[in-house]
Amino acid sequence: METPTITQIKSGDGYSYRVCVAGMCREHIQKWQAFIFYHQAMECYQRDAGNLSILQLSQDSILDAASTSPTILDDL
């Protein structure tokens, strides 16, 4: 997942703000709305991006899952 971004865009009526998160972009006219959305996205990013331990499987967890599986093949 890429780091969330916030950019200021000049338009005919003034400025708007674009916040992009995980391939999704939202535009806000009010600065405070953009910053709240950006802050929430950064909290999620920091919580999930730095926690790779949830993706790792230990050998014990794999063996436990295999021992309770109803479809274990003894002989291949």
Residue 50 has pLDDT above 80, yes or no: no
**What pLDDT, in 10s, does the model give residues 15-39?**
999 999 988 999 999 999 999 999 9
Return d(Cα 26, Cα 64) in angstroms, integer.
44
**pTM for the predicted model, two decimal places:** 0.60
**Are the CB atoms for 47 and 4 separated by under 8 Å?**
no
Could you tell me whether strands 5-11 and 24-28 are parallel, antiparallel, or unpaired per DSSP bridges?
unpaired
Domain ranges of the chain: 5-64
Q: Which amino acid is at 40?
A: Q
Burial 45-56 (b: 16+ CB within 10 A, else e): beeeeeeeeeee
The β-bridge partners of 15 are: 10
